[in-house]
A and B are shown apart, each in its own frame.
Chain A
């Protein structure tokens, strides 16, 4: 099946810093989503981005489908950005989202 690798596994930053999270995938996809799991366990959809670039406030994401990777940028980090960020993809022809292992982000005040 398709492999999804996220890096780094852990990231600790001070408030106000910028960060880049990466998601590599091993096959062609027709869906890629970024999720934030907050410390209470709730999964929040950040971006649906099978290709191209999107921005939402301090967050932006870019997917280069031909090179099989996606990047999530967080600027001016806040403590509320802490949690685990997951990338999930759907291989072309399938109907199953496959998740990466996640990047645990800790923002210290």
Chain B
């Protein structure tokens, strides 16, 4: 199993540009989520999904959109990038809603917005 994969690994955007961060998992997990990690801080939840077709907001959802059309994929869209969105983004998956089992994390995407 590849586990949780994320693409790209690095990305530089200009303010106002849009892009999609890709996340895929091959473990048939129902629960997937996106976090951002800023320097010296822990991870903060952006959006999560408990299954295909179901998404919900986390702690810091503004400026981000998600959709879940399949069990395997959970893309994160930045509609109009801002310098405040410069961060490292992690995707994670688990069997349940993170309340009863282990979360598995992807390798991260380092995003810089100029």
Binding site for B on A (CB under 8 A): 1, 4, 30-31, 33, 35, 41-43, 45, 48, 86, 88, 90, 92, 94-102
Q: A41-B107, A45-B104, A102-B41 are in contact. List 15 more A-B contacts (CB 8 A).
A: A31-B98, A35-B105, A41-B108, A41-B110, A42-B107, A86-B43, A88-B103, A90-B97, A95-B31, A95-B56, A96-B98, A98-B45, A98-B59, A99-B42, A99-B44
Contacts of A30 in B (CB 8 A): 99-100
Contacts of A101 in B (CB 8 A): 40-42
Bound form: Cα–Cα A99–B44 in Å: 7
B58 within 8 A of A: yes
Bitwise, B83-112 to A at CB < 8 A (1) or not (0) is 000001010000001111111110110100
Task: Give the residue name and chain of the A residue nearest to B42 (CB).
Answer: A99
Q: Is the interface of A mostly helix, strand, loop or mixed?
A: strand
Binding site for A on B (CB under 8 A): 31, 33, 35, 40-45, 48, 50, 56, 58-59, 88, 90, 97-105, 107-108, 110
Is the Cβ of A90 less than 8 Å from the Cβ of B98? yes
A60 to chain B, nearest CB (A): 17
Q: What 9 A-B pairs come out closest when comparing CB atoms? A: A95-B97, A99-B42, A43-B105, A90-B99, A99-B43, A48-B102, A97-B98, A31-B99, A101-B42
Is the Cβ of A48 less than 8 Å from the Cβ of B101? yes
Contacts of A1 in B (CB 8 A): 59
Task: Give the residue name and chain of the B residue nearest to A84 (CB).
Answer: B42
